[in-house]
Chain A
Amino acid sequence: MSAVASYDFERFAILVVEDNGFMRHLMTSVLKNLGFGRVDAASHGGEAIDFLRAIGKSPSRGGLMSIDMIVSNWQMEPIDGLELLRWVRRAKDSPDRCVPFVMVTAFADMPRLRQARDAGVTEFMVKPYSIATLCNRVLAVIERPRQFVSSPKFFGPDRRRRARSRGHRAPGSEGQGRRRRLRPELTR
């Protein structure tokens, strides 16, 4: 029987950004119960930026060298999750432009999803969510990291999640359905 190991998130540091106190407390508690060693919280994008800037200036601040993942709500004031994401990916004083960013939102429409994707989001979690959904997103960040793309108009995880399937069609799938074409929007 092959041994199955379990993840140990004790050395992870996560930043939760949520303006609603009830939900912020819940998300923080849940992540701690999932075993994440350090969970910091900010009540809006601006507070998160200040926190991340402080880490960038003094990496050993409070014993924290870096943030491994950001879990942020979208709609917040005065600085929302999308602006925070743009700052993380583009600002020169962002401590880690490649940090995984999970956007949590009740906006489930395609234009919003595209907006987040084009700003460089790593994973998207639509409310209402469950523990299983949260675990799936965390595991996706850890187990299926995408290559980063830097172009004049975009910086973030590769938006073409199926890019790796190019040239690797499943046996017996020849001629089934229309052949998927990779969107050339980034490489043109």
Chain B
Amino acid sequence: MSDSDNPDWDEHPPEGHKRVRFYRFRNRLRDKAGGAANQSVIILPEVIARAEATFQRAGKDYPKYVQGTVEHLVKLCADAAGLSPDQRDGHFRQINQAAHEFKGQGGTFGYPLITTFADSLYKFTGVDAPHTDATSNSCAPTSTRSKP
């Protein structure tokens, strides 16, 4: 067996050597999908239309889903406002994650304003954003704001 056939070569190549291997596989997926070589194969328009219809239906349910998540966000903000700064990390992380999700979803379902709002909220609650009492106060409902 030569050095290059040594199975340890990849993990521990001799000093001064780097081992690079290239693997070219048969296109199993194309075979499996029924696409013969040199043949023009497409996804039928009616199949795409069916998937698009599913997408549109989900878009109609999206406002309901958003409503639920916004209520959850308001609760998180209110809860965070009542805690000391060292106890708020988890809340801000959850708000930040929800904002990240909204960021992608808004545009997907045709609500670009949600994406804009979510992008702003994501940056505001991100790890680089300053977490001070003032920022926490500004996002809490008026009734729960702490007095200076």
Tell me the A residues contacting B by CB distance below 8 Å.
2, 4-9, 11-12, 20, 22-23, 25-26, 29-30, 33-35, 68-69, 75, 77, 98, 100, 105-106, 126-132, 134-135, 138-139, 141-143, 145, 147-152, 158, 186-188
A23 — which chain B residues lie within 8 A by C-beta? 101, 105
Q: Decide if B33 touches A12 in the complex (CB within 8 Å).
A: yes
Q: Decide if B44 touches A100 in the complex (CB within 8 Å).
A: no
Query: What is the chain A residue whose CB lies nearest that of B109?
Result: A128
Scan residues 23-74 of chain B and give those whose CB is less than 8 A from a CB of chain A. 23-25, 27, 29-30, 32-36, 39-44, 47-48, 50-55, 58, 61-62, 65
Q: State in angstroms the CA–CA spacing of A135 and B52 once bound together.
A: 11
Q: State in angstroms the CA–CA spacing of A147 and B22 once bound together.
A: 6
A6 — which chain B residues lie within 8 A by C-beta? 34, 41-44, 47
Q: Decide if B104 touches A127 in the complex (CB within 8 Å).
A: yes
Which residue of the partner chain, among A4, A105, A142, A186, contacts B104 with CB atoms under 8 Å? A105
Query: What is the chain B residue whose CB lies nearest that of A34?
Result: B51
Q: Decide if B18 touches A128 in the complex (CB within 8 Å).
A: no
The answer to whether residues A33 and B43 also contact, given A127-B107, A187-B20 and a CB cut-off of 8 A, is: no
Query: What is the chain A residue whose CB lies nearest that of B30?
Result: A142
B147 within 8 A of A: no
The answer to whether residues A7 and B108 also contact, given A106-B103, A141-B29, A145-B25 and a CB cut-off of 8 A, is: no
- CB B89 to nearest CB in A, in angstroms, measures 14
Q: Decide if B33 touches A152 in the complex (CB within 8 Å).
A: no
Q: State in angstroms the CA–CA spacing of A98 and B47 once bound together.
A: 28
Which residue of the partner chain, among B41, B51, B61, B107, contacts A7 with CB atoms under 8 Å? B41
B100 within 8 A of A: yes
Q: Decide if B10 touches A135 in the complex (CB within 8 Å).
A: no
Interface centre among B24, B35, B54, B62 (most CB of A within 10 A): B54
Q: State in angstroms the CA–CA spacing of A8 and B44 once bound together.
A: 10
Q: Decide if B19 touches A7 in the complex (CB within 8 Å).
A: no
Q: Can you list 5 A-B pairs, Cβ within 8 angstroms, ordered by A? A: A6-B43, A75-B101, A100-B29, A135-B48, A149-B20
Q: State in angstroms the CA–CA spacing of A23 and B61 once bound together.
A: 11
Q: State in angstroms the CA–CA spacing of A25 and B105 once bound together.
A: 14
Q: Decide if B10 touches A128 in the complex (CB within 8 Å).
A: no
A143 — which chain B residues lie within 8 A by C-beta? 30, 35
- CB A33 to nearest CB in B, in angstroms, measures 4
A135 — which chain B residues lie within 8 A by C-beta? 43, 48, 51
- CB B107 to nearest CB in A, in angstroms, measures 3
Q: State in angstroms the CA–CA spacing of A47 and B144 once bound together.
A: 39
